[in-house]
Amino acid sequence: MMDDWDKAGKIAGDALLVGKKLIKPGARFIEVTEAIENKINELGGKVGFPIQISVNNIAAHYTCIYEDKSVFNEEDIVKLDMGASCEGAVGDTAVTVDLSGKNKDLCKASYSALLEAIKMAKPGVPVCSIGEAVGETIASFGFKPITNLSGHGLNRWIVHDKPTIPNYNNGDKTKLKEGQIIAIEPFATDGCGLVAEGVRSFNYKLVKVKPVRNSYARDLMKYISDNFRTLPFSQRWLYTRFNKLEVNVGMNALLREGVIQNYAVLPEKNKGMVSQFEHTIRVGDKVLTRVEGSH
């Protein structure tokens, strides 16, 4: 029998393939984003968190706003990171598309690291050993792992939970447990191996529901809590219900009150190029987001 985690993983894997095929020079980010969202819904899931499309030296956390004009360029190295949810159980997966073909080794580094880590991720294995394998595999290709980005545990309605799955040997002896759901996501770079906090993105998450005075903020808070609970959400999704003024005023008030938090875009500190691959696995069982034709 397939449980929600199996279903969410399969939907995420299938939807990622749809998006990956659309990433071509001249295509718009928003087309890829909407095609993935539609596929997830068509397959009976919900979007688990905003579709992330991060290019070149941006490692993570770029998501489209609704009037987004961004298009892919011939030289781009594109990280597509997305999640599908079934009742809060999220399958989290990512792939890198190298449009110029000049970054093959960089892609191979993070992909090989992911395969090594998956092989090792058995019950009783300390997370630092997985990190060590990831870091050494990436180094063997002449690149650096991004050490301040990491994989993570997943629990219902919580995408980033304990344990942290590091991309280097951080000395953390926490052991993996049978049946635990974790996402492994090695990032490789020709930069210094760290990301910085960049500009504000359109990714948000509800932190706590509390009384707020502003009526736009109050309505938005209820909508967010009813529809996304504690999963990350895109500002773009709010425009199906609210107008621009309501969103701008309401979101700023919610940020000020600490009701929601924003995620910053994460560029590599030395403007290095970045590749990433990710799968969600059930420890001691299988890769949940791997489907026919996927990485």
Q: How far is the CB of 278 from Co ion (least distance, A)?
A: 5
Minimum CB distance to Co ion smaller for 153 or for 191: 153
Number of residues that bind Co ion (CB under 5 A): 2
Q: Minimal CA–CA distance to 81: which of 66, 96, 100?
A: 96
**132 binds Co ion per the rule CB under 5 A:** no
- Residue 81 bears catalytic tag: yes
Could you tell me which of 87, 96, 104, 115 has the C-alpha nearest to residue 20?
Answer: 96
Interface mask (CB under 5 A) for Co ion, residues 17-56, using x and -?
Answer: ----------------------------------------
- Give me the least distance between CB of 292 and Co ion, in Å please: 22
Residue closer to Co ion by CB (options 259, 265) is 265
Per the annotation, the verdict on 279 as an active-site residue is: no
**According to CB under 5 A, which one of 59, 64, 165, 183 is a site residue for Co ion?**
183
CB of 129 to Co ion, least distance (A): 20
Q: Look up 4 and say whether it is catalytic.
A: no
Known catalytic membership, residue 185: yes
Site for Co ion in 69-108 (CB under 5 A): 92
Q: How far is the CB of 194 from Co ion (least distance, A)?
A: 18
Q: Which of 152, 190, 279, 295 is an active site residue?
A: 152
Which one from 81, 98, 132, 190 is the annotated catalytic residue? 81
160 catalytic, yes or no? yes
HEC secondary structure over the chain? CCCHHHHHHHHHHHHHHHHHHHCCCCCEHHHHHHHHHHHHHHCCCEEEEEEEEEECCEEECCCCCCCCCCECCCCCEEEEEEEEEECCEEEEEEEEEECCCCCHHHHHHHHHHHHHHHHHCCCCCEHHHHHHHHHHHHHHCCCEECCCCCEEEEECCEEEEEEEECCCCCCCCCECCCCCEEEECCEEECCCCCECCCCEEEEEEECCCCCCCCHHHHHHHHHHHHHCCCCCEEHHHHHHCCCHHHHHHHHHHHHHCCCEEEEECEEECCCCCEEECEEEEECCCEECCCCCCCC
d(Cα 17, Cα 80) in Å, to the nearest integer? 10
Closer by beta carbon to Co ion, 27 or else 118: 118
- What is the nearest approach in angstroms of Co ion to the Cβ of residue 91? 10
Q: Which stretch binds Co ion (CB under 5 A): 24-32, 127-135, 142-150, 180-188?
A: 180-188
295 is annotated as an active-site residue: no
- Selected catalytic residue, list 14, 116, 132, 185: 185
Q: Which of 14, 92, 98, 268 is catalytic?
A: 92
Contacts to Co ion by CB under 5 A:
92, 183
Catalytic residues: 81, 92, 152, 160, 185, 278
